[in-house]
Structure 1
C-alpha cells in the first residue's frame, strides 16, 4: 500500500512539472501579445545575474478607472482591462477586485493590489517586473532615464511572460 502511494505521489509531481513546462510553451501559440510602456528601469544586480527590474505606467491606476472596493488588502487579486491605443501600447481602461467582462479590443489581465498612493492612484503589480538578459549585456540597460516598450504574452489561463524589451526612441 505504501509503495503504491509513493509511486502515485511521484507520478503526480512529474505530471505537474510536465504540465507547467508545456503551459509555458503553449503561451506563444494561444496567448495574446500586449505592449506595455515602462515607467523606469533599474540597473542589473550582481547578486541575481543580469536582469532588468521593470515598472510599468499601467501599474498606476487613476481613481476614475478604479471600480473596485475602497479598502483593499495588499496582494489581493484584481482584474485590469487593458485597451490598445493607435500605437499598439495598452493602457488601463478599468480595474476592479471583481471579474471584469472581456472587451472586443482589449484584454483582462490579473494583477496583485499593492497600495493606494497619496494622489489617490491605486498601485498594482502584474508580476512581470524582472526581465532576464544575456550575461554581460546589462550595461546597455543601466540608464535610469531610458524608457522601454515591453512586449508580453498573456495566455487565456492567466499566465504572463515577457517576450522582448525595446527602447523607446525619443
Structure 2
C-alpha cells in the first residue's frame, strides 16, 4: 500500500512540474501583447543581473478610479490602452477584476505608496530581472521599449526589448 501511495505522489509531482513548464511556453500563443516604456533608470550591465523598471509603475492621481482609502487597498487592476505610437499607457486603475473577454489588456498590481499626486504600484506578473540575450545591441542613451505577452491566467513574459528615439 505504501508503494502505491509513493508512486501516486511521485506521479502527481511530475504532472504538476510538467504543467508549470508548459504554462510558461503557452504564453507565446496568447494574442494580448503590449509594449511598455522602461524608465530611464533601468540598469543593465554585462556582469550583473539586469533589473528593469516600467513607466507604468507611476500612475497619476486622475487615472486612479478608486474611492476607498489607499491604506485599505492591497491589489488593484491597471487597465492599459495603446497610444498612437504603439506604446501602452495606463488608462485607469480599478479594484474589480475586468472581464477576461475585454479587448483591453490589464495587469494586476499591488499598491505601494502615494507621493505628490502620483501613485506607485508593483506588478507581480511583470519580470524584473531579464535575460541578457534580450538586450544585445541595445544602446543605453536611447529609450527602451519592452514587448510583453500577457496570458489569460495573468502571467506575462518579455519577448523583446528595443530602442526608440527619446521624445
RMSD over equivalenced CA pairs, Å: 2.7
Give aligned pairs, total.
Answer: 162
Q: Do residues 5 (structure 1) and 5 (structure 2) align?
A: yes
Q: Which runs of 5+ in 1 are unaligned?
A: none
What's 1:107 paired with?
Answer: 105
The Cα offsets for residues 47-106 of structure 1, whole Å up to 9 and x where unpaired, read as: xx5x422111111111111123322469x3321100001111111011123223468652
Compute the TM-score of the two structures, normalised by the length of structure 1.
0.81
Q: 1:150 aligns with which of 112, 129, 146?
A: 146
Q: Which runs of 4+ in 1 moved over 4 A?
A: 101-105, 137-141
From the superposition, tell whether residues 62 and 103 of structure 1 become closer, same or farther in structure 2 (CA, over 3 Å).
farther
Compute the TM-score of the two structures, normalised by the length of structure 2.
0.82
User: Contact between 1:81 and 1:106, CA under 8 Å: does it hold in 2?
Assistant: yes
Q: Which runs of 5+ in 2 are unaligned?
A: none
**How many Å separate the matches in 1 of 2:97 and 2:71?**
15
From the superposition, tell whether residues 120 and 107 of structure 1 become closer, same or farther in structure 2 (CA, over 3 Å).
same
**How many Å separate the matches in 2 of 1:124 and 1:78?**
9
What's 2:85 paired with?
Answer: 87
